[in-house]
Structure formats: C-alpha cells, structure tokens
Amino acid sequence: MPSFGRSLAVVLVSGLAACSAPGAAPPAGVTAAAAPVAAVSRPPLVGPVRSDCSRAGARDFDGDGRDDIALGYLGTTGQVDVLVAGKVIRVPTPPGNRMKGFGWSVTMARVDDDRCADLVVGTRTLTVAGRKGAGAVYVLHGGAAAPPRRLVSPRPQEDAAFGESVAAYGDLVAIGAPGERPGGAVYLFRNGSFVRRITQDTPGVPGNSEVADRFGDRLALGPLAGGGVGLAVVAPEDHDDGPGRQDVGSRDDAPLGAVTVLRDVTAARLAGVRLPPPEDEDGRPCTGFGDSLVYVPRTGLAVFAPQCGRLRFYDLTLDPIRTVTTLRSPWDADLAASADGRVAALGSDPNDPTLLLLSPKDPSADRRLAGDYLAHTVQRGIAFSGGRIVVPLEGAADVAVVDPVTGKADLVKTATGDLFVKAVAG
C-alpha cells in the first residue's frame, strides 16, 4: 500500500448497477452471501455540469436525483470528480491544493440552503498563513453553482493537521486538528461559519489536554437522547493515567485510547463523558479503543477496539447494548452506518478479509458478505450509499459497490495515474 504522505484526489460515484463476486465461508454465527466475479467498468471523463438542485436527493451532490459517493484518493495530485450515470465529471480543484493532500478526509453536509449535498474535503497538510501543515477544509457546493469555500482555524498552528477528520450533521460540520498543541482540538462550523473550538481543557470536556493525545483524530456527529447533537471525539494516544497533566514522554506502555462524547455540542455549556472501553478475556481494558467509530442513526454509536477485536454498540443514552467479537484481533476494522441503522464492518486481516453487515441489537440478523474483491481492499474508507456498501480497493478496480441483500458487487475504476483510495463518504 502506498504511503499516506502523498496528495489526494476525491471522486463521487452514483447510479451503479450491481454485479457479482464469490466469497469465503463465514465465521460461526454469521450468515454469508456470495456471488460470481464481476467485470471492472471505467466510466468516461466529462466537464462540470450546473444544476438547480430541485430534484436532488439526500446525498446527491450533482442534483440528478440519485445518491452520490465521494472517494478521497492518495496520489501525486489532488482533484475532485463525480461519476454520474456512467460518466466522471471533473470538478476544479481549489487553487494551491494539487500537491497538498487534498481529499485526506471527506464527508457530505448541507452547508447552504439549496437541496444539493455539499462536499466537505480535508487537506490536512496545507500551509496556512505561512504555517506548514496547519491544514484546511474546503466546502465544495453541490450543483456547481458556487465557488469552493475554505475553512481554517482562527489561529493556525504549524503541523496542526486541521482537516485530519471531518464529520457533519445537516449544516453542522466538525473538523479535527489532532496535531494542534498541546493535545489536539476540534473545530465546529455552522453554515460555513466558525462556532467554537473544543479541547480536553474546555469546561465540561473530560480529560486533560496532554502532549500527543491527538484529540480529534476521528469524529462522529449525530443526535442523541435529549434532543442535542452529540459529538464523539477519539484521542488515540490518550493514556488512562488519572487526573492532571502527566509526563507522557517517559511512558513506555501502549496508550489505551479515549472516546469522549459531548451530548450536545451546540449547547452554551458543554457536558461530556468518556465511554468505558470493552475488556479482553482477562478482564483488562482493550487498548486502541476508538480506532474506528461511527454514528448509527436511530441507535447511537459503534466503536471498535482492535487489540482485542471488540466492536461495541451504544444506544442514544450512551449505554452499551451489544459487543461483537467476530472481527479478529489485532487487525484494524473500518465502520459505516446506513440510514436505517445497520452497520458494515470491514476487517483488515490479510489472511481473512472480512465484510460484515451487523445489527446493533439483533445478532441473528448479522451477515458476512463474501467476494474475491475483498482480497484487494484498502481497509479504510468504507461507507453506505443508500442501501449499498462502498468498499475501496487497490489494483484493477478502485471501488466495489455492494448490494448487501444479494451480495453482488459492481467493480469500478475511476482513478487515473498514481491514485489510491484513502477516504469515502456516501
């Protein structure tokens, strides 16, 4: 797999027909779905198209009435493309971004008032106000009717990695800057305007902002019990070392990782909790907690701890409701949630690549999806688009769009040159 230090491109995919692919046997207790091998399609490239967004769907960037899929690519340049009805529409890259990691993180939002979805794209290595690696995020407005808008920290810091992670709910956008000193930060924007900066030193936020915690490395955003919009923030390098600031430079133990949830991120006074990590077979807390997480509509959160292979579901009150142990430790897994509350989990074990479709509450509804394409997964960036699962690949195809009902997959090649999938949103 190529180094993540390269620049990126973003591609949007929509309107794909399902094809098929074969698979392996499922683990115990998980039903498998498999299908024959699919051919790889390569859509042609065309110019940008303007739309009035009157027919736009919920996740529709170009206004054609169908859900789209955003793919961030590693590569030697940065670009944004849209695949619509078998055509790739190239969207101009904002000036100064072609070699600056444009597309490292991607999500969709409704930043403006039209019906088209807007694309929120992170470029975490961009130089801002003379500060290298400060990072920025661009809002690419759906329907191609408005120029891109740049979001930056009010006080850019060198190597802050603003844009490392992005999450959105409606017109509310959260942006992670885990490299910001001392321990990372999250920035909140509404309708493209700055709202607040949040760290572990912010009143109401549990924990302490210690060097290299990387608070803001991963984010999830969505409504919780009580009516507020909740924000989940991962600090992957956080140690469970008690109150007060500690000297982490002398630590030689593995960080536990911390997942902080703010129950209403728009409230005047924040109130947050730390989610307790699951335990391994010996009763010890699982390290790496929060390696992946996703907001699950109508349920709450799903959070993964790779070192013991535990995936835990939390309800809207943040009580744990189920722990899944099917994914193998110590391999990573990436998560995605559908609008109707299902969760897809892509495990990265190279000897047994796994794509699971999970119910947060009903283990009997779990299924394992099989296919030869899983041997070529990138492991990061899985997403739902409508009822389909989008799996990033490397090799002959860049993405598999999977129908979880039949197990069929449509394999698509969208990139040109030295480009590899890094992020995906649908």
Contact 178, 203 (CB under 8 A): no
1-58 pLDDT, tens digit each = 333 333 445 555 554 433 333 334 444 455 555 544 568 888 777 776 788 899 998 8
Closest to 174 measured CA to CA, from 197, 203, 158: 197
CA neighbours closer than 13 Å in the CB half-sphere of residue 51: 23
Backbone angles phi, psi at 396, to 5 degrees: -65, -35
Half-sphere exposure of 179 (CA within 13 A, CB side): 19
Cα(386)–Cα(388) distance, rounded to whole angstroms? Answer: 6
Fold of domain 7-241+254-425: Methylamine Dehydrogenase; Chain H (2.130.10)
Band of the pLDDT at 188, cuts 50, 70, 90?
A: very high
pLDDT of 230 above 80: yes
Report the first-to-last Cα separation within the chain, whole angstroms: 24
CB 266 within 8 A of CB 222: no
Paired strand residues for 40: 411
Q: Which of these, 290, 178, 152, 167, lies nearest to 223 by C-alpha position?
A: 167
**Residue 253 amino acid letter:** D
Q: How many angstroms separate the CA atoms of 50 and 63, rounded?
A: 9
Mean pLDDT of the chain: 85
What is the distance between the alpha carbons of residues 103 and 397, in angstroms, rounded to a whole number? 19
Residues 381, 361: Cα–Cα separation, whole Å: 24
* Contact criterion met (CB below 8 Å) for 171 and 127: no
Separation CA 102–CA 362 (nearest Å): 39
Contact predicate 327/304, CB 8 Å: yes
**Apex 109 CA angle, 16 and 277, nearest 5:** 95
How confident is the model over 105-114, as pLDDT tens digits? 999 999 988 8
Q: Is the distance from CB of 258 to CB of 235 less than 8 angstroms? A: yes
State the Cα–Cα distance between residues 224 and 240, nearest whole angstrom.
26
pLDDT bracket for residue 95 (50, 70, 90): confident
Q: Quick check: 202 pLDDT over 90?
A: yes
In residues, how long is the chain? 426
Distance, CA of 319 to CA of 327 (rounded, Å): 22
C-alpha to C-alpha distance for 299 and 225, rounded to whole angstroms: 10
Q: Where are the domains of the chain?
A: 7-241+254-425
Q: What are phi and psi of 142, to 5 degrees?
A: -65, 150
Residue 205: the pLDDT is: 97
At 247 the pLDDT is: 54
State yes or no: pLDDT of 169 exceeds 50.
yes
How far is Cα 12 from Cα 372, in angstroms, rounded to an integer?
Answer: 24
Residues 327-343 have pLDDT tens digits of: 988 888 999 999 999 99
Q: In what order do the strands lie in the sheet with 118-123?
A: 105-109, 118-123, 136-140, 149-151
Predicted confidence at residue 250, as pLDDT, reads 52
Q: Are 148 and 94 in contact (CB under 8 A)?
A: yes
Alpha carbon separation from 168 to 106, 179, 229 (Å, rounded): 10, 21, 10
26-37 confidence digits (pLDDT tens): 444 555 555 445
Chain segment 345-363, per-residue pLDDT in tens = 999 888 888 999 999 999 9
List all residues 6 or more positions away from 193 whose beta carbon is below 8 Å from its beta carbon. Answer: none
What is the structure's pLDDT at 30? 58
Specify the DSSP element, H or E, that contains 320. strand 320-324
Span 268-303, pLDDT tens digits: 999 999 999 999 889 999 999 999 999 999 999 999
136 secondary structure, DSSP code: E
pLDDT confidence tier of residue 168, bands split at 50, 70 and 90: very high
Looking at the predicted structure, is the pLDDT value of residue 243 above 60?
no
What does the pLDDT read at residue 41?
87
Q: Backbone phi, then psi, for 280, in 5-degree steps?
A: -80, -175
The yes-or-no verdict on residue 153 having pLDDT over 70 is yes
Q: What is the pLDDT of residue 80?
A: 67
d(CA 266, CA 231): 9
Percent of the chain with pLDDT over 90: 54
Question: Which segments of 148-291 are extended strands (E)?
Answer: 149-151, 165-169, 172-177, 185-190, 193-198, 218-223, 229-235, 258-262, 272-274
